[in-house]
Amino acid sequence: MGAKILEGKPIAQKIKEEVKAEVEKLKAEGVTPCLAAVQVGEDPASKSYIRSQRRSCKEVGIEYKLFTLPENTSKEELKEFIEKLNNDPSITGIILQMPLPKHIDAREAFCWIDEKKDVEGVTPANLGLIAFDMPRLAPPTALAAIRMIEETGEEVLGRETVVVGRSTIVGKPAALLLLQRKFSATVTVCHTGTSKRGKLEEHVRNAEILIAAAGQPHLIKGEWVKEGAIVVDVGMNYVEGKFVGDVEFETAKERASYITPVPGGVGPVTTAILLRNVVEAVKWQREG
Ligand code: NDP
């Protein structure tokens, strides 16, 4: 029997409706959530991402402002600009658009964002709060991966959970979130070191819950997937004109109990959760 396909769109729609209602409530109280996107230089690849951010914000009533700084903006100038946004009460969320020009280190730049406006959960403060079991603004992609697991209704407690990837925006926060007492999964994190030692297959075969976030097309073979496993594929790899995941979907779906498609799985939910984070950020700022 094939797996149930966890489609992202209906979940995203539900989240957006909740966000829309919260935005209306905030507006009635005189607060308009406003997301500021900062772009340094004009990378053509980020155009469609920006367009989709603007459209999604509009859908739920969030204001969206794009600030495009010249390619030759210095580190100091960008820092100053972000600090201006941090201190501007009309801006309630900040996204620093990737990629940045080579002379600016993204990790350093993330540190300049006020954690209460950090809707992408990229600051060390917000990652630290997850590790502290007190998440406030976690990265939307990690939250989306977990939301997909929650949608199955299956118990996570003590389940062998394998996260492939340890980036600070997906793998690591997803693993830390699943370690929270409210989930209490048994978490293993795999990375290139695991693969170099030839151990990836062994770990994946053991996974009752699998989150694939390596950014490597079809890295995970369908035959490695444990019978009845929940498979969340975060990977978005552009291959021969289309997007494919990190997991071999066709073969994996014959073994898994639930599986997310690529595209149309984690992606739309990530966008919806970003919007939810904009509202969560407003709430945090209002706490003072
Ligand atoms: P990164 O490149 O930052 O991280 C990839 C991680 O995967 C690293 O930790 C890396 O290990 C690990 N990895 C890479 N190759 C292997 C391998 N052969 N075996 C084991 N581990 C491996 O990517 P991101 O975390 O930013 O993104 C991951 C994927 O998720 C990408 O495909 C991206 O496009 C997608 N994505 C999807 C989103 C969505 O909304 N659906 C949003 C954000 C990202 P090491 O640390 O050792 O290098």
| SS3 readout for 29-49 | CCCCCEEEEEEECCCCCHHHH
204 phi-psi bin (left φ>0, alpha ψ -120 to 50, beta other): alpha
Q: Does a structural domain hold residue 199?
A: yes
Q: Does a structural domain hold residue 286?
A: no
Q: How many domains does the chain have?
A: 2
Q: Does a structural domain hold residue 149?
A: yes
CATH number for the domain spanning 249: value is 3.40.50.720
Q: What's the 164 CA to ligand 1 centre distance in angstroms?
A: 8
How far apart CA 46 and CA 39 sit, in angstroms, is 9
Hey, whose CA ends up nearest to atom 39 of ligand 1? 267
- Of ligand 1's listed atoms, the one at least distance from the Cα of 271 is 40
How does pLDDT run along the chain (288 residues), one tens digit per residue? 699 999 999 999 999 999 999 999 999 999 999 999 999 998 887 888 899 999 999 999 999 999 999 999 999 999 999 999 999 999 999 999 999 999 999 999 999 999 999 999 999 999 999 999 999 999 999 999 999 999 999 999 999 999 999 999 999 999 999 999 999 999 999 999 999 999 999 999 999 999 999 999 999 999 999 999 999 999 999 999 999 999 999 999 999 999 999 999 999 999 999 999 999 999 999 997
How far apart CA 209 and CA 227 sit, in angstroms, is 11
| Side-chain half-sphere CA neighbours of 133 within 13 A | 6
Q: Note whether 73 and 190 are same-domain residues.
A: no
- Range(s) of the domain holding residue 175: 139-267
Q: What's the 165 CA to ligand 1 centre distance in angstroms?
A: 5
Hey, whose CA ends up nearest to atom 11 of ligand 1? 191
Q: Note whether 57 and 105 are same-domain residues.
A: yes
| Residues ≥6 apart with Cβ < 8 Å to 167 | 213
Q: Note whether 172 and 86 are same-domain residues.
A: no
Residue among 220, 236, 243 whose CB has most ligand 1 atoms within 8 A, to mutate: 236
Q: Does a structural domain hold residue 144?
A: yes
CATH number for the domain spanning 83: value is 3.40.50.10860
Q: Note whether 153 and 93 are same-domain residues.
A: no
pTM: 0.98
Hey, whose CA ends up nearest to atom 35 of ligand 1? 235
Q: What's the 170 CA to ligand 1 centre distance in angstroms?
A: 7
| Residues ≥6 apart with Cβ < 8 Å to 39 | 46, 50, 66, 67, 68, 69, 97
Q: What's the 216 CA to ligand 1 centre distance in angstroms?
A: 7
- Of ligand 1's listed atoms, the one at least distance from the Cα of 195 is 19
